[in-house]
Amino acid sequence: MSYSYEAYDSSGALQSGTIEAASREEATELLRIKKLFVSNIVEGSTKQRKRSKPRSGKRVSSKTIAVFARELAVLVSTGTPILDAIQSLKRQSRDENWVAVLTDVQHRLEEGDSLSAALDTHSRVFDSVFRSLVAAGESSGHLDSMLTRLAILTRKQAQIKANLSGAMVYPILLTCISIIVLGVMIGVVLPRFSGLFETLDTPLPPTTKLLMGVSDIMRSYWWGIIPAFVIGVGALVAWLRGESGSNLIGRLALRAPKIGLVYRQFSTARITRLMGVLLDAHVPMLDAINLTRESVNHQMYRAMLTNAEKSVTKGEPISSAFDRGGLIVPSVVEAVRNGEQSGRLADVLGTVSDYLDEENETVIRSISSIIEPVIMIVLGIFVGIVAVSMFLPLFDLTAAAGGGG
């Protein structure tokens, strides 16, 4: 018997085709062996409709996704049809990009697509874990409970991002103010002393000469320096967000004495939470590892999860792969080992991730409280150097005049 299917691979790309199997369950298992996670499967080889090419869609904030998952879970759990729920959520939104995404999802549902198939066309908005849990909920007939898990997961992820962003707002603001203050002092205040310094018949200190030279350059080439600075900062941010930049920062962070432990705790918490939710949703272990790997950006952690997949394929416990390389916190490795032995791995992973999230929140507050005075001290030092460099020649002149008198 032929079955037409739509499924996505470990990279999140949508695949479609037909497969021969005795039953729908057997067809789904055969596709899983091929590392394809089924989002929609129907009997017959001629029932496929012509579909538009999957679109990546515009990015939407993690907070929006978290609110969507929570509200959709509430509506579906109360018996609201999925199409009516999407329409209701679309009417509530004022974000044009988000409304466009929901409109497209609504149209695909009206055409007969499943929710997971409709979400597959917006892979940049809904990540592979989100889509896989929706597909698992649809295939198991428990979409409402799966959406509830998704609501908890996305809310946690949005909360972590908000905590990180909130902790860095004040330090970044202080850094920007510091740059502006130093620029004004060197580009505006210091030149006002240049005429006075030229009338002095005494040699200028080295720091004053250096700052005067920097001031002359800034005044002469400000039209090129400012755009170059803005472009440079933008390029740096883009590079850091890219794969090569994030991997380099990740490697440096792992090797740093104190920061390395913090980085491992954040990475471990993300991995354990994702795997815990997937396993709790009865996603097969290999599929859970693949989906978690696709949600991790750091190259070393992706390689670790690849080794974990190989270990599980050989019949070895996943804790053996986590124990190699020192990327996972040792206490977590031991907890995972105990969870495997007791058969409660999903519960253990969820508990571990909750504990690590609490620890990480405390660490964020501590780091933020340390960074702020450090920035103030550095700013004070630079402002002090500029002030002393401006007034030191005047002090020398006064001292010389007093000695001559």
Residues with Cβ within 8 Å of residue 75, at least 6 apart in sequence: 84, 85, 88, 89
First and final C-alpha spacing in the chain? 111
Q: Quick check: 58 and 97 in contact, CB under 8 A? A: yes
Across 233-243, b (16+ Cβ under 10 Å) vs e yields eeeeeeeeeee
Element (H, E) at 39: strand 37-43
Q: Quick check: 101 and 189 in contact, CB under 8 A? A: no
Match domain 62-156 to its CATH number in 2.40.100.10, 1.10.1030.10, 1.20.81.30, 3.30.450.30. 1.20.81.30
Residue 37 — φ and ψ, nearest 5°?
-100, 115
Residue 135: burial class (beta carbons within 10 Å; 0-12, 13-18, 19+): buried
- The angle formed by the CA atoms of residues 394, 396 and 398, to the nearest 5 degrees, is 70
| pLDDT tens per residue, range 112-142 | 788 888 888 887 888 877 887 788 777 777 7
Report the predicted TM-score, pTM, of the whole model to 2 decimal places.
0.64
Quick one: what percent of the chain has pLDDT higher than 70?
Answer: 88
Q: Quick check: 287 and 37 in contact, CB under 8 A? A: yes
Single out the residue of 273, 329, 298 nearest to residue 156, CA to CA. 273
Give the Cα separation of 261 and 327 in Å (integer). Answer: 9
Give the Cα separation of 157 and 165 in Å (integer). Answer: 12
Residue 114 — φ and ψ, nearest 5°?
-75, 165
> What's the pLDDT at 398?
67
List of the chain residues with pLDDT < 70: 1-2, 8-14, 39-40, 42-59, 200-202, 396-405
Q: Quick check: 41 and 24 in contact, CB under 8 A? A: yes
> What's the pLDDT at 231?
92
Output the CA torsion sign for 380, 235, 267, 127: positive
| Same CATH fold assignment for domains 62-156 and 165-405 | yes
Q: What is the number of residues in the chain?
A: 405
> What's the pLDDT at 46?
37
Residue 367: burial class (beta carbons within 10 Å; 0-12, 13-18, 19+): middle
Give the Cα separation of 257 and 230 in Å (integer). Answer: 32
The single residue listed with the structure tokens 């920007």 is 176
> What's the pLDDT at 201?
64
Question: Which CATH code is given to the segment(s) 165-405?
Answer: 1.20.81.30
Question: Which amino acid would we find at residue 287?
Answer: D
- Residue boundaries of the structural domains of the chain: 2-43, 62-156, 165-405
> What's the pLDDT at 168?
76
